[in-house]
Structure 1
Amino acid sequence: MKTSWWPSRQTSWRLLAGVAVSLGLSFGVSAQTAPAVAAAPVAATPVAAPDTAPVVKSAPALPAGSTAQPGWNVPPKWSDVELKPQYASVPGREMNVLLEDKGQWWRTIRNGPVTFYGGILMLVVPALLLVFFAVKGPFKLHGAPSGKLIERFNSAERMVHWTMALSFVALSVSGLILLFGKYVLMPVFGASVFAWTAQVMKAVHNFVGPLFMFSLVAFFFMYVRDNYFKPIDFTWLAKFGGLLSGSHVPSGRFNGGEKVWFWLSIVMLGVIISVSGLILLFPNWDSTRELMAEANLVHGIIAILFMAASLGHIYIGTIGTQGAYQGMRKGYVDETWAKEHHEMWYNDVKSGKAVQKPVGAAQPAAGDD
């Protein structure tokens, strides 16, 4: 019997089933060992390195309906100024400094000791003068008025004096408002009224200042001749002019106290306050920030001392001494007044050494009774 090489039908189905099982197992193993598909990368949130870059914040939102634009007064922008090099095209000293961190000492001193102790001084001095006036009263003449007048100040002398005096009052009022206004006026009238008032006072201060300086120079050259110290002036100072004892102390045209006022206040304080004022008034005179801060402190301190001393001068020249105001207002004083207060000058007038214009009978001045 001849055997065929072709497998039987049963054997063929077995072979096909084995191949199918083998292929299935192969695909299963491949599916288990094949790498998974990588997921899409997620963008990482950038984190600023510490101490290397500022945290940038948006400018604060403006009120609804506001037309103002966000300015530079936001911390992120100032941090950006500090951390990055900048460029300045304006020539001049310290013009390349945009953010100054050394001015806090000036603010601390101005808003601290200067304001505090200066305010106390400006309250204590008037109070002491009022107490003194209540206790002693005005210094009156010992003798009766003679009815004869002597020229005390000519028209030019009085014009210069009153120009200086009125400009000084304007500067004092405006300066006091600028220094103490936010503590005294703003709580009462509000920030808006004080801001407007301070702006006006600043303009008054800036424009009246040069007039005051000019009058100081004119006053110096006009009065310096009669303000040189003489031996009799030291006697007057030692006895305080007899203000406390009531004794008579002779003096020239100006007594020792008036000469101290001239050299200490008009000359010394006047020069310091004028120079510091010019530095503040003209900041473009190649001044540094440190110089401007120092000038501001010196100007404020000297101004307070000047005002305190002026209160004493004003008191003596008005309600404190009978007949004194008449001499500066009208230019003439009674002979009795001249003899009791400035005896040596009175003798010079009588002897012809000092100028005396012939005038009529004396007329009582308001406030000189």
Structure 2
Amino acid sequence: MVRIAAAICSLLFAALLIWVGISTFTHPDPMVVPTNGVINGAAADTLPTGPQARRALAERTQLQRWRTESGPSPEGRFTTGQAISGAQMPRNGETPPSANQTLTREWLAARDNDWPVLIDRGYIAGTSSLPAARDNVFMQPQGRDFRRLHESTTSYAGGWIIFGIALAISLFLLVRGRIPLVHGFSGREVERFSGLERANHWLTASSFVVLALTGLILIYGWTLLQPLIGSLAYGSVARASLYLHIAFAAPFFLGICVMAVIWLRQNLPSRLDLHWMRRFGGFLSNSGNNPPARRFNAGQKLVFWGVVIGGLLLSLSGLTLMFPFFWTDIQWLQWTLLGHALLALLMVGLILGHIYIGTIGMEGAFDAMWNGRVDRNWADEHHSLWLEELVKEDRAGRAETRPASQLPAE
């Protein structure tokens, strides 16, 4: 039954990944269409009406692209300082975009005559009476790069990450099945995690789930939700998602900090980790002879460091976005937003793998975080060195420090 479900999920995620792949390489380059064609202070021209309006605005936008992307210079056909109507604009088919050196030289040759159009990516210095220095920037050409990365690259990268990892997990479950408890359940349990550890884990996990869902709505909601529920309903959903995203950032950060304090020492790398990774934790065989591990194996350590480092970076970048311009400018805010989104998508992929191996992926693993106790055979198969340490503590006379029901059976 599990493998049938895995096969269905594999087909579904494969189809979604194919859809993302096709969309990635066939989607149009995102652009912002202007509302009029005023150039160099000339009076606003009359926009076309009817079916020609969209085409005229799109063609007008073509002139605003970078000189290495928008085709040969329009010099000779248009005069700088003259308002241009949609009918006068060059058709896309006349000057196909190119980025070769010859095209660049053509644009550079017209720099002196048409400097308002061909100005380099940068800022024009001047005097402003605005009280805040950050408001003195009236035009930021680098925003075009940000828009392209944010609206196109980041969105499609998220699809590749999430659906790709989901497909890999489904295929692994289809081929491997659940990782069994080879020697079965013994009926004797040992304490795996304390109440504090479990409470902090679920605090961090639940906060991350809310942050992930609301973040995905903010990234993909306009494309996927708005056509289904309408603009008004989506506006309410997006607003609520933003408030929840901000509200749950604090408990997530708190959980990350507590996690780092209580588990840091036990997650430091060791030589055992290399041996565990070479054998992939013994997950590919049913012999029960898995590589030895202490309380946390190499896979769990990778998740720990990914969550701690990624969580702290997400918290720092999120704080920067919550208080814009407090310690950075608009350009750094743009890069911070991109980094925040990409890192969050990678974290979603990491947590998908963590959820899988802790639930349906491995028999007996979920009990560790649910009630804090695991079967002795599970501990022996997956964390043999840790179990040996518990047994040695018992033999050394430390048993009186714990209730008898929590002692490891020999």
TM-score, normalised with respect to structure 2: 0.65
Q: Tell me if 1:256 matches 2:298.
A: yes
| Equivalent residue runs for 1:167-178 within 5 Å | 167-178=207-218
Structure 2 equivalent of residue 309 of structure 1: 350
Cα-to-partner distance string for 1:84-113 (whole Å, 9 max, x where unaligned): x77444334x23224444312111001111
Residue correspondences, number: 291
SS at match of 1:359: helix
Q: Tell me if 1:117 matches 2:166.
A: no
Structure 1 equivalent of residue 392 of structure 2: 351
Structure 1 equivalent of residue 307 of structure 2: 266
For 2:377 and 2:239, how far apart are their aligned partners in 1? 49
Q: 1:359 offset after TM fit, Å? A: 2.2
Kindly indicate whether the alpha-carbon contact (under 8 Å) linking 1:147 and 1:361 is maintained by their aligned counterparts in 2.
no
For 1:125 and 1:241, how far apart are their aligned partners in 2? 19
Structure 1 equivalent of residue 250 of structure 2: 210
Percent of aligned pairs with the same amino acid:
30
Q: 1:180 offset after TM fit, Å? A: 1.0
Point out where structure 1 has 5 or more consecutive residues left out of the alignment: 1-49, 59-75, 77-81, 363-369
| Highest RCO, 1 vs 2 (Cα 8 Å, sep ≥ 6) | 1
Kindly indicate whether the alpha-carbon contact (under 8 Å) linking 2:192 and 2:373 is maintained by their aligned counterparts in 1.
yes
For 2:282 and 2:358, how far apart are their aligned partners in 1? 16
Kindly indicate whether the alpha-carbon contact (under 8 Å) linking 1:164 and 1:212 is maintained by their aligned counterparts in 2.
yes
SS at match of 1:168: helix
Q: Tell me if 1:242 matches 2:270.
A: no
**1:130 aligned to which of 155, 159, 170:** 170
Q: 1:349 offset after TM fit, Å? A: 0.6
| Equivalent residue runs for 1:1-369 within 5 Å | 53-55=41-43, 87-92=128-133, 94-246=134-286, 247-263=289-305, 265-352=306-393, 357-359=403-405
Cα-to-partner distance string for 1:205-250 (whole Å, 9 max, x where unaligned): 1111122112111111111121112221210011110112344211
Q: 1:276 offset after TM fit, Å? A: 1.2
Point out where structure 2 has 5 or more consecutive residues left out of the alignment: 1-37, 47-82, 84-122
Kindly indicate whether the alpha-carbon contact (under 8 Å) linking 2:158 and 2:345 is maintained by their aligned counterparts in 1.
yes
Tell me whether 123-132 or 333-342 shows the greater mean CA deviation: 123-132
Cα-to-partner distance string for 1:37-86 (whole Å, 9 max, x where unaligned): xxxxxxxxxxxxx976431589xxxxxxxxxxxxxxxxx9xxxxx99x77
Q: 1:360 offset after TM fit, Å? A: 7.3
Matched to 1:291, the amino acid is: W
For 1:233 and 1:100, how far apart are their aligned partners in 2? 49
Q: Describe the shift of the 1:52–1:360 C-alpha distance in structure 2 as closer, same or farther (beyond 3 A).
A: closer
Kindly indicate whether the alpha-carbon contact (under 8 Å) linking 1:133 and 1:320 is maintained by their aligned counterparts in 2.
yes
Q: 1:259 offset after TM fit, Å? A: 0.9
Q: Describe the shift of the 1:286–1:361 C-alpha distance in structure 2 as closer, same or farther (beyond 3 A).
A: closer
Kindly indicate whether the alpha-carbon contact (under 8 Å) linking 2:295 and 2:386 is maintained by their aligned counterparts in 1.
yes
Matched to 1:137, the amino acid is: G
Kindly indicate whether the alpha-carbon contact (under 8 Å) linking 2:190 and 2:406 is maintained by their aligned counterparts in 1.
no
For 1:183 and 1:359, how far apart are their aligned partners in 2? 54
SS at match of 2:142: coil
Kindly indicate whether the alpha-carbon contact (under 8 Å) linking 1:150 and 1:357 is maintained by their aligned counterparts in 2.
no
Kindly indicate whether the alpha-carbon contact (under 8 Å) linking 2:155 and 2:220 is maintained by their aligned counterparts in 1.
yes
Kindly indicate whether the alpha-carbon contact (under 8 Å) linking 1:151 and 1:357 is maintained by their aligned counterparts in 2.
no
SS at match of 2:338: helix
SS at match of 2:149: helix
Tell me whether 99-108 or 334-343 shows the greater mean CA deviation: 99-108
Q: 1:147 offset after TM fit, Å? A: 1.5
For 1:342 and 1:312, how far apart are their aligned partners in 2? 19
Q: Describe the shift of the 1:225–1:51 C-alpha distance in structure 2 as closer, same or farther (beyond 3 A).
A: closer
For 1:346 and 1:236, how far apart are their aligned partners in 2? 17
